[in-house]
Amino acid sequence: MKPSVGVFICHCGNNIAGAVDIEKLKANACAEGAECVEDHPYLCSAEGQSLIKDRVNALGLERVVVAACSPNVHERTFRECIGEAGLNPYFLDIANIREQCTWVPSEDPTGRAADIIRSSINAVRHARPLDNITVKAEKSVLVVGGGIAGITAALALAKQGIRVHLIEKSPTIGGNMVKIGKVFSPDKLTEDCSMCSLAPIMSEVAKNKNIEIKTRSKIAGLKGHAGDFSVTVEHEPGFVDTKKCTSCGQCASVCPSLTDDEWNAGLCARKAIYKPFPQAIPAAYTIDEKACKKCGNCVKACGAGAIDLEATPFKETLHVGSIVIATGHKELDPSDKYELGYGKYEEVITQTELARLLAVNGPTSGKLEIPSTGKAPQRVVMIQCVGSRDEKPGSIPYCSKICCMVALKHANYIKDHFPGTEVYICYTDIRATGSYENYYREVQKKDVTFIRGRVGEVLKNEAIVVRVEDTLGGGPVELEADMVVLSCALEPSAGTIEAARALSIGLTPELFIKEKHPKLDPASTTARGIFVCGTAAGAKDITESILQARAAASKVAELVSAPIEIEPKFAVIDYDKCTSCGACIKLCPYGAAYSNGRISIDPLSCIGLGGCILRCPEHAISLPGSSDSELYARIDGMLKGEPKMIAFLDENIAYVAADNAGVNRIPYPSSVRIIRVPSIMRLEPKHLIYAFERGAAGIFLGDGTTNSPEGAIRANVAKRVEELKRAVAVAGIDPLRIFYYEAYLPHYRGLASRMERFDQELSAMEKPPCPIASCEKRTAEIK
Amino acid sequence: MRIALKKQVIVNSDHRLSHVCGFEKCMQCGRCTASCPAALIYDDYRPRDVMRKLQLGDIDSVMPYLWRCGQCYSCAARCPRNNSVGAGILALREKALATGVAPENIKAVASLIHKNLHQRGETFLPYMLDFIGEFGPRTTMRCRDNGNRRVRLGFDRDDARMQPIPADSMAEIRSLMEMTGYKGDNDA
Amino acid sequence: MLNALQAVPKDNYYLFKSCVTCSIYPGIEKSIRYVLDRLEANYTDDPRHSSCTGFGYHAGVVPLKTNLALNARNFSLAACSKDKNIVCTCPTSYGNLKECKEILSRDKALRDDTSGALAKIGKSFDISSGVNHVSEIFLARLDDIKAKAIHDFRGVKAVTHHGCHYSKIFYKDVASGNFERPTVVDDIAKGLGCEVLDYSERSLCCGMGFHYTMLDREYPRTILKRKFASIKKEMPDLIITQCPGCTFNLDYYQETLAEAVGSLDIPVLYFSELAALALGADPYEIGLDMHAVPVEPLLERLGMIGGKR
């Protein structure tokens, strides 16, 4: 028993009524077996909608076709309308007879409109009831990395009532910002103490009840999907109970073992049992296992009984709704750049080492001196772009963004605090963007000498000599120096690469975390539900890290703070057919398919392209609203009479471009009949063969999703088009009857002209071979 | 300088200029000049300048300085854009010789090398050591008998090798030289 | 050591002779053959290959197309030989052959022209042979050399100099160390017992300069003054090289530059001469008497000669 269908045709004032014969269309609709056929000047009006609802209720209509403007204008309106009348909102189909019919200059708009309406009537009879689903994510987040980005994100989320697990690899949070000593301030034209800004935030994190800090912790593995992750976290022992430790320091005074102090860039030593720095959080001592001799002196000395040398590593599993990666960066190690003498000459240091030297809490208590000799330098030469903007092996091709400002900051500080010291900066470009230009100008005024040239090498010939060209006319220069400071590139930290591997998310060629769409979706990674912020995603300064941390926090909040309603546009698995072969898991570019006992599709990650449908060997996957029967029905509806060009257009780009063509009254061939699909990846050979055997002269495939952040992958689309062409060739149809066009939203003229061109090519070919009668057997076989 | 608004016809048919030199992407950072031994010695030569002139299409002004380069490729090894000034220099040198704007002493070298290749299929021959100037009395004395010593070691006196290249191979080599338009004084 | 070392062929070498090497130091070639024979390596000494023309090419006097055609012919000969792995004595040959191979692989027009020219002389176009420098071969087989060595150079302090064309043109392919600090020769020297010292101008070109050798001696002299001044600070017993041109420059100029940098008298040995001596070769059989700076005092000190002539 076919469900009863009501067809409502809108005049749209004169937009539709002025171009087509409404009465004829009504008669056609009746002829198709519609139980109710009405027309109205403005169906979208309150009166028009009332008409629909009245008819539905009065006649017990089970399906509704609205023949009017584009679904992109009022589909939602009419769904709500029939919903109010008691019908499932997805029992509606819109016949686009305005943008894609009456607004397109052509010979027989009435004929075209009749086809479009018939197609909708056919399809709506196959519609299934659908509902939005609600996804409730775990209201918690794992933040990986406790630097400025991680703790900003953690606080932003905690303050919204979201539970935060903050894990950090080292014994304390704080990250690279702890080491830099000073931050530059463009409005004050001076340097602020970085710890003064950072430590209060660190304290806040410690005090916030919604944040649990776990230091000496790393990600070991991941299961699950957005909203429902199970993360395995590994904890290394610090051998000191941070709750019992009072930071009295007795343990360190009796510890016999010394090692390099990494918080001072290795420029001085610390004990194996140590507190990283006074403001460390957790505020406790910790033991460096590699340096520890296990002598037990500290245990004896500890009045609080906080030390347990037998502590062991352990793992735990955390259930969280979302993950934020904030694993930071490291300074490139210039030891392999033999031509710069780092590691060979004690006078050559990095900007981080200089920052520690100039820091009041550093190894020299803020005195500028050459680390090994203790002498104050007369001339400091800074070398920019060490390992940055460099395509040679061992370097990074991009600009590290902050090193120009770091050099200016240190130059300014040295000039202010160590007057009489000469400072030279050898640069390729000075990148002081925005109001940082003021800073650059002020530093120039302090008599810092700028040489525009990328340094070739640093040698020792009696004195240290820096070889550079003054490209602004001075020629090759041999600059003597007694301290050389290398402004090294920012590289991804080891933790960043480890986290990416553990979470199976994409990395850029330089091994930073790959942002899903660096321009339009910068805090997202390639995995739904996992976000990134800070230098883990690429070189940036503190301000940008904070901005990105807040962006990531905002995205986490969208996901986890309240249940999310999702439209039923995602793929669904029929478990009667699924054999758990896992093919869909391997091929989905969005990682939407996952195994969880059985194969599942994450509604949050699936964007509904339908590419997986063809690939499932058991044909167990389907897209609601785009079932095989609906597609066949639409094709049937379009193909009555003369051979037509069926145009399958993706709903987001190509279909909208076609609407735009109509809005601009651009003509395209009268034979074109447009069918909206999620993407042409939904199409299978059987659909095309069906269309040809029902009398289609040609099939136009338009898809523009490859240009947007959430769309098909271009290579996959090209592959699919080739596959479709081959399959129809095997079925005896000329593959030149298929035309693929990569659509662009603004290029609706291009869409029209391609259809025109294809139409001409088709006219040059022989008439399509297939009369409808002999097809029916074949189509029955295909179905 | 004035860059006139007329169509510039630049024929860049040398593979080294179009694919190896890379002057289009040169950022003029000067690392090549900072690393160049010739730039250290000669005030009038800066590899970065050569790249700049190529960028501006002003090749003529660079012609006199082409012969400063010692072809060590320190520029190529250090360039952050993976360019090679050295390769560009070779392309320009070929052009200079083809159009006759090379210095006379370079033309003499060209002539000599062509002769060596044409006669023996080798570029550097034992007699050229006589060319290479004064190296001090002790060295001159120690090395004056090297002609005999090479024979003692089994090498031909006048050829670089133990045996000269056989005649049929020499015919092939000469043929290739001619086919590729490599002309010397002894060619018609 | 990098992956480039793992890719070095272990046998079947097409010996690519160098006109610079054999014109100035024919003993170097003899020492290479000596070592390869002792290693029982299979190699072909084909009389038919031409010079790579690199000396003339880099002087700028050999046109590109001629360079490509002559070397395509050389590649063709190697491909038809029973031993196809091209091994060069001179870094300029190494760099030039590799460059010809790369250009011919990438540029269809040049490839078509070149293979057309080859066809006219009855040769096939086949540039499949790999190209290595003989120092890479020795490094790959260093263990075998050490196993057969009867002398070692313990107590000898050496500095090394790598040919610019070995490390700076194909900078990704350096077999040991990296292009800023190649250590192929260092590894061989250390393997044979030398103590290898660093010096500040290690990566500076020797200043041979191709056309400069025949024209303007100011260029090599000025560069060598820097180079020698830096080497002299380390007071080595020996300078070890991997290029005949560098060997020539570092060897022949010591006497006349003594005035500027102080007396040097540091013997210069190509690494294969060192290896051959280690394996027991007679110094005169490998032509060490053809060197400008006397090698004899060092050999006497090491007991390798006893006043023999």
A770 pLDDT higher than 60 = no
Q: Which of C15, C20, C32, C62 to mutate to test the interface with B (most CBs of B within 10 A)?
A: C62
pLDDT (0 to 100) of residue A2: 87
* Confidence band for A406, pLDDT divided at 50, 70 and 90: very high
Q: What percent of chain C has pLDDT over 70?
A: 98
Q: Is residue C5 part of a domain?
A: no
pLDDT of residue A225: 84
Cα–Cα distances (Å) from A14 to A40, A41, A42, A101, in that order, read: 11, 8, 10, 13
What average pLDDT score do residues A607-612 get?
A: 92
Chain B residues with CB-CB distance to A468 below 8 A: 30, 34
Contact between chains at B34 and A389 (C-beta distance less than 8 A)? no
Angle at A536 between CA A535 and CA A541, to 5 degrees: 5
Asked whether the predicted pLDDT for residue A37 surpasses 90, the reply is yes
Average the pLDDT over each of A280-284, A681-685, C2-6, C23-27 and give the range with the smallest value: C2-6
DSSP C235: -
Q: Which residue has the higher pLDDT, C194 or B129?
A: C194
- Per-residue pLDDT band at C62 (split at 50, 70, 90): very high
CA nearest neighbour of A189 among A450, A416, A448: A416
Residues C8-34: what's their mean pLDDT?
Answer: 96
| Per-residue confidence (pLDDT) for residue B186, from 0 to 100 | 53
In a domain, C129, yes or no: yes
Question: Same domain for C57 and C81?
Answer: yes
Q: Considering chain A, what is the average pLDDT of its residues?
A: 92
Residue C45 lies inside a defined structural domain of this protein: yes
Residue type for position C100: C
Can you tell me the distance from the alpha carbon of C233 to that of C240, in angstroms, rounded to the nearest whole number?
Answer: 16
Pairwise CA distance, residues C237 & C160, whole Å: 11
Task: With beta carbons less than 8 A apart as the criterion, state whether A156 and A553 touch.
Answer: yes
Distance CA A155, CA A533 (A): 14
pLDDT value at residue A783 = 54
Instruction: Enter the tokens of residue B178.
Output: 């001619």
Range of the domain at C259: 150-301
Helix axes A685-693, A628-638, angle to 10 degrees: 30
Which residues from chain B sit within 8 angstroms of residue A385, using beta carbons? 29, 80
Q: Which residue of A has its CA nearest to B35?
A: A456
Higher pLDDT pick, A202 / C305: A202
Q: Residues 8-47, chain B: which have Cβ within 8 Å of A? A: 27-31, 33-36, 39-40, 43, 46
Examine the fold and report which residue of C84, C106, C134 is the final residue of a domain before the chain moves on. C134
Choice among A154-158, A422-426, C151-155 with the minimum mean pLDDT: C151-155
pLDDT band at C309 (very low <50, low <70, confident <90, very high): very low
CATH number for the domain including C98? Answer: 1.20.1050.140
A401: closest CA among A413, A388, A391, A386? A388
Residue C8 covered by a domain: no
Q: Are residues C218 and C245 in the same domain?
A: yes
Average pLDDT on A320-347 reads 95
- C165 shares a domain with C114: no
Do A392 and C181 lie within an 8 Å CB cutoff? no
Per-residue pLDDT tens for B106-136? 999 999 999 999 999 999 999 998 765 578 8
**Statement to judge: residues C120 and C182 lie in one domain:** no
Other C-beta atoms lying within 10 Å of the C-beta of residue A679? 29
* Strand-pair category, A593-596 with A163-168: unpaired
C72 and C211 fall within a common domain? no
Dump pLDDT digits (tens) for A45-103: 999 999 999 999 999 999 999 999 999 999 999 999 999 999 999 999 999 999 999 99
**Residues C50, C89: one domain?**
yes
In terms of domains, do C111 and C160 share one? Answer: no
**Does residue B38 sit at the C interface (CB-CB below 8 Å)?**
yes
Domain count, chain C: 2
Question: Residue range A37-44: average pLDDT?
Answer: 95
Structure confidence by residue, pLDDT tens digits, C246-257:
999 999 999 999
Q: What confidence category does residue A767 fall into, taking pLDDT thresholds of 50, 70 and 90?
A: confident
Whether C4 is covered by a domain: the verdict is no
Residue C309 lies in a domain: no
What is the pLDDT, as a whole number, of residue A772? 47
* A-C contacts (CB, under 8 Å): 23
Same domain, C282 and C211: yes
Using the beta-carbon criterion (under 8 Å), do C61 and B146 form an inter-chain contact? no
Produce one character per residue of A519-535: b if its CB has 16 or more CB atoms within 10 Å, e if not. Answer: eeebbbbbbbbbbbbbb
Share of chain A above pLDDT 70, in %: 98
Interface with C, mutate which of B18, B40, B65, B72 (most C CBs under 10 A): B72
Q: What are the pLDDT digits (tens) for B130-146?
A: 765 578 888 988 888 99
C75-93 pLDDT tens trace: 999 999 999 999 999 999 9
- Does the residue C183 lie in any domain? yes
pLDDT higher than 60, residue A773:
no
Edge-to-edge order in the sheet of strand C238-241: C195-196, C157-161, C238-241, C268-270
Q: How far is it, in rounded angstroms, from Cα B123 to Cα A549?
A: 65
To the nearest whole percent, how much of chain A has pLDDT over 90? 80
Inter-chain touch B34–A453, beta carbons under 8 Å: yes
Q: Is the pLDDT of residue C2 over 60?
A: no
The DSSP code for A305 is -
Answer whether A476 sits within 8 Å of B48, measured CB to CB.
Answer: no
Whether the Cβ atoms of residue A210 and residue A140 lie closer than 8 Å to each other: no
Helix (H, G, I), strand (E, B) or coil at C37: helix
- CATH code of residue C212: 3.40.50.11810
A385–B34 C-beta distance less than 8 A:
no
- Pairing type for strands A475-481 and A273-274 reads unpaired
Inform me whether the C-beta atom of residue B135 falls under 8 Å from chain C C-beta atoms. yes
Mark whether C20 and C82 lie in a shared domain: yes
Give all domains of chain B, ordered by start, each with its CATH number: 15-98 (1.10.1060.10), 104-179 (no CATH)
> At CA A425, angle to CA A422 and CA A430, rounded to 5?
145
Q: Peptide bond before A237: cis, by omega within 30 degrees of 0?
A: no
Regarding whether C202 and C130 lie in a shared domain, the answer is no
Exposure string over A150-185, b if 16+ CB within 10 A, otherwise e = bbbbbbbbbebebbbbbbbbbbbbbbbbbbbbbbbe
Confidence of residue A521 (pLDDT cuts 50, 70, 90): confident
Given CB atoms, is B25 within the 8 Å cutoff of chain C?
no
Same domain? C187 vs C261: yes
- Domain stop point among C134, C167, C191: C134
- Using a CB-CB cut-off of 8 Å, the residues of chain C touching A336 are 178, 180
C306 within domain boundaries? no
The answer, yes or no, to whether residue A122 has pLDDT greater than 90, is yes
pLDDT of residue C69: 97
Complex-level ipTM = 0.94
Per-residue pLDDT, averaged over B75-100, amounts to 95
Cα atoms in the 13 Å half-sphere on the side-chain side of A304: 16
Regarding whether C174 and C256 lie in a shared domain, the answer is yes
Q: Residue C89 carries which DSSP code?
A: S
